[in-house]
């Protein structure tokens, strides 16, 4: 599984921009929820800019893929791992808070009977005393870990330690329709 390139969609609010660490620097920011291929077993850093009510503030979240999805053959781009970075996440990070979110595939035998809204990921918060990875494992199979905030990397953004050596990224463009 390590080394598998997993399609991943970085989803942010309208107007917020995302740049990816490539070759030691961040790409020009995109506003269209980038669809990228990330390697399982690696950590990727992104730069998020153009935050509401916070001109000039930059947030540098990381995404670590720890497993992959198993979509129908030829349909991997239609079913990327959704990485939602909400306006609330960005505001908390801008205030110096640290957020960890574990993205997981629900266990069908334990899934909650709620209707899903297209494009919206269902999630819940782990209590401060809980390990988010253990909570996700109890609900299903963890796929990725999103970490936001806690450090100011604006001065170190071009350095290798800040970008985890810039592991390879494949840029796919837009997500095809699921039909």
DSSP element (H, E) containing 47: strand 43-49
Q: What is the pTM of this model?
A: 0.86
Q: What pLDDT, on the 0 to 100 scale, is given for residue 84?
A: 94
Name the one residue in this structure whose structure tokens are 């781009």: 77
Q: What is the chain's alpha carbon radius of gyration, rounded to the nearest angstrom?
A: 16
pLDDT tens digits, 43-78: 999 999 998 888 888 999 999 999 999 999 999 999
């Amino acid at each position: 599984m390590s080394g598998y390139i997993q399609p991943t969609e970085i989803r942010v609010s309208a107007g917020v921009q995302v740049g990816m660490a490539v070759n030691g620097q961040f790409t020009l920011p995109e506003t269209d929820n980038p669809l990228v291929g990330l390697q399982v077993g690696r950590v990727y850093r992104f730069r998020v800019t153009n935050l509401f009510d916070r001109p000039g503030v930059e947030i540098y979240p990381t995404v670590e893929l720890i497993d992959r999805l198993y979509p129908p053959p030829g349909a991997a781009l239609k079913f990327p791992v959704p990485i939602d970075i909400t306006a609330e996440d960005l505001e908390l990070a801008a205030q110096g808070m640290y957020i960890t979110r574990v993205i997981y595939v629900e266990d069908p035998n334990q899934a909650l009977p709620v209707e899903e809204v297209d494009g919206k990921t269902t999630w819940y918060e782990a209590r401060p005393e809980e390990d988010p990875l253990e909570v996700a494992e109890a609900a299903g199979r963890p796929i990725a870990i999103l970490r936001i905030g806690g450090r100011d990397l604006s001065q170190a953004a071009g350095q290798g330690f800040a970008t985890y050596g810039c592991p390879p990224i494949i840029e796919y463009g837009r997500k095809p329709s699921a039909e």
